[in-house]
Amino acid sequence: LLGSTIPLCGIKLYIPIALTPAIRMVRCISAILLAASFYFTLASASNATEQQAVSDGALPPSRIRITPKRVVGRRKSPKGKKRKLSKKGGGWTVESGACMVEKNFGTACVLSPNYPRQYGNKQKCVISLKGRKKTVVFSQFDTETWFDTLTIDGVKFSGNKRPKPCRPKKNIVWSSDFWNLDKKKGWKMCNRGGGMPKLLGVK
């Protein structure tokens, strides 16, 4: 019977010639698997070395791949319509005082000083509204009753009851006294315009 002799642990094994191709195939597959294992080991070590180099500052930041995070539920401002604070806008003009005009998403509103946080003592603002569409609508109103007032066409408003929508003919005046017993947020009035009745005084 033809075959070949293979030494194994000091013992010579006789392998028939019919099994020789199968043994060679097994050796070839083993060599391929060993090479693949060695390649993946080198790749893992290379990645770890690169990450360590970036951490140590050896590699420039351009080598770092950053994946942007997706923000859910946050509304982005439309282009060109970012929130701005100034003394004038949307028909409003703060003639004097610390009140501010807020422009946000195309809407112009006037805010009491430091809104939405507590306003200060002994403050006064004179505010004018000009233009065809000049209807005042309040989204927030919280002041010290009787002492901190917003005067519209001679009618003084205070407390936490919002004034009704109105079309002022004169300047609006805000005034706070020298002492606040309670923390009040102040007010926010906006120029919405169109189809609103004239000022209705609150008795």
Residue 60 pLDDT: 54
Burial pattern 105-120, b for ≥16 Cβ within 10 A else e, equals eeebbbbbbebeebbe
Give the full edge-to-edge strand order of the sheet including 149-152.
88-89, 92-96, 124-129, 172-175, 149-152, 155-157
The per-residue pLDDT string of the chain (203 residues; one tens digit each, 9 = 90 and over) reads 444 555 555 565 555 555 556 666 666 777 787 777 766 676 666 665 556 655 655 555 444 455 444 444 444 444 444 568 999 998 999 999 999 999 887 789 999 999 999 999 999 999 999 887 678 999 999 999 999 999 999 999 999 989 999 999 999 999 999 887 788 999 999 987 543 344 444 33
The whole-angstrom separation of Cα 175 and Cα 157 is 11
Residue 107 pLDDT: 85
Tokens, residue 55: 């951490």
Q: pTM score > 0.75 for this model?
A: no
Three-state SS for 83? coil
The whole-angstrom separation of Cα 176 and Cα 143 is 9
The whole-angstrom separation of Cα 22 and Cα 26 is 6
Closest residue by Cα to residue 129 from 170, 87, 86: 170
Q: Could you tell me which residues come within 8 angstroms of residue 151 by beta carbon, excluding any fewer than 6 positions away? A: 157, 172, 173, 174, 175
